[in-house]
């Protein structure tokens, strides 16, 4: 199997959280701006001719997908598989866009859905159910849970002392510092929570276009916000989860839901953000709090949960029970099983 990739663009590039995979093939990439949209062309070269199957992201902006699909139909090219969310989560689509995406999706030979919701979308679009694999998109929870188990009481005390944390009155945010994450909302809610609950502090980990907003908030005298910069390795993430009681995410919830479950740290979020498919993993009152309302209501919920330790512990147990369903190993196994079915079909 060859793993080939392009390069991040736009706000994703500003997060500075890309990684390197040994043996992966970096593809030549061209970026076009058409009518306010970003379109990509990634040159697959000989891969498009010699592979038995090609797995592509389910995204209309990826122009290389269209000639591949035509070639597959007309000239018996490789089986074309799509990998993706299913429905569109990040913006509101027009009826025409939905129709084009549905047509694009049902022309795939196989569909790899992030979640059960993506599977339902694919079958509604016309992909036969027997040609859909739900991978349950996940992070490397094993590494995160191993790092969490290895944290010593002294490390925890040192971390809390370094950042001025009060036990039982701490929260963290981790992710991209950009518009989908609603950073101004997050910072306002943190300030309001600190007024309601003296000693409250919010650790913010990440990078992005709104980094300056966080830096300015953290620099104010007596600020409740501590800026950590980008945090990517499992050890530092685990320390955040061990030292803090809740994870605040008023904006888009994506794979951070998996990290939160693995860390047994309940998420406090909102229902109306542009959530990714992994938002399906969270259940209000079981492993998360989903708050309807403004920053003040969000702060009320955060302060109340930190005070109500019995309720907080119940949410932690929900996280622990649900975390077993999501892992990099289980996701990989489902993907491999689907690939073997694709290759059998292609033969």
Please compute, for residue 141, the number of CA atoms within 13 A of its CA located in the half-sphere on the CB side. 26
Tokens found for residue 90: 């990040």
Please give the pLDDT value at position 90: 65
Residue 249 has pLDDT above 90, yes or no: yes
* 156: confidence class by pLDDT, cuts 50, 70, 90: very high
Tokens encoding 122: 């694919």
Summarize pLDDT for 65-107 with one digit per residue, the tens: 988 888 877 777 789 999 999 877 666 677 888 898 999 999 9
Contacts of 252 (CB under 8 A, 6+ apart): 90, 180, 181, 182, 273, 274, 275, 276
- Is the per-residue pLDDT at 39 higher than 70? yes
Q: Judge whether 43 and 69 are in contact, CB under 8 Å.
A: no
On whether the CB atoms of residues 237 and 244 are closer than 8 A, the answer is: no
In this prediction, residue 89 carries a pLDDT of 66
Structure tokens at 301: 């919920």
Query: Considering only CA atoms, which of 248, 4, 255 is closest in space to residue 115?
Result: 255
Instruction: Report the C-alpha gap between 259 and 278 in whole angstroms.
Output: 11
Rounded CA gap, 208 and 15, in Å? 4
Which residue is associated with the tokens 């059960």?
Answer: 116
Record the tokens describing residue 226, joined without a space.
């501590």
| Alpha carbons 203 and 180: distance in angstroms, whole number | 19
Distances (CA, A) of 103 to 58, 107, 122: 12, 6, 10
């Amino acid at each position: 199997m060859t793993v080939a990739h392009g390069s991040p663009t736009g706000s994703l590039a500003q997060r500075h959280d890309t990684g390197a995979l040994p043996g992966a093939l970096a593809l030549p990439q061209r970026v076009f701006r058409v009518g306010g949209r970003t379109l990509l062309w990634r040159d697959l070269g000989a891969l498009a001719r010699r592979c038995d199957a090609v797995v592509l992201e389910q995204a209309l902006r990826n122009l290389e997908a269209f000639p591949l699909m035509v070639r597959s139909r007309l000239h018996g090219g490789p089986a074309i598989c799509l990998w993706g969310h299913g429905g569109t989560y990040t913006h509101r689509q027009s009826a025409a866009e939905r129709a084009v995406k549905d047509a694009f999706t049902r022309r795939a030979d196989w569909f790899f859905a992030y979640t059960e919701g993506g599977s339902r979308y694919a079958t509604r679009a016309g992909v036969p159910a027997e040609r859909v694999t739900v991978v349950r998109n996940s992070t490397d929870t094993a590494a995160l849970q191993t790092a969490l188990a290895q944290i010593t009481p002294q490390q925890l005390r040192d971390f809390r002392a370094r950042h001025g944390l009060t036990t039982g009155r701490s929260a963290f945010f981790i992710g991209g510092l950009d518009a989908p994450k609603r950073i101004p909302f997050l910072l306002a809610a943190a300030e309001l929570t600190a007024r309601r609950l003296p000693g409250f502090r919010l650790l913010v980990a990440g990078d992005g276009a709104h980094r300056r907003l966080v830096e300015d908030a953290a620099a104010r005298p007596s600020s409740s916000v501590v800026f950590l910069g980008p945090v990517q390795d499992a050890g530092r993430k685990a320390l955040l989860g061990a030292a803090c009681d809740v994870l605040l995410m008023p904006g888009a919830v994506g794979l951070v839901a998996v990290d939160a479950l693995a860390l047994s740290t309940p998420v406090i979020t909102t229902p109306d953000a542009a959530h990714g498919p992994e938002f399906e993993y969270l259940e209000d009152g079981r492993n998360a709090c989903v708050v309807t309302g403004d920053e003040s209501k969000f702060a009320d919920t955060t302060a109340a949960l930190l005070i109500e330790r019995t309720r907080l512990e119940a949410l932690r147990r929900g996280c622990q029970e649900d975390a077993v369903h999501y892992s990099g190993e289980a996701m990989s196994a489902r993907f491999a099983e689907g690939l073997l079915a694709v290759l059998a079909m292609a033969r």
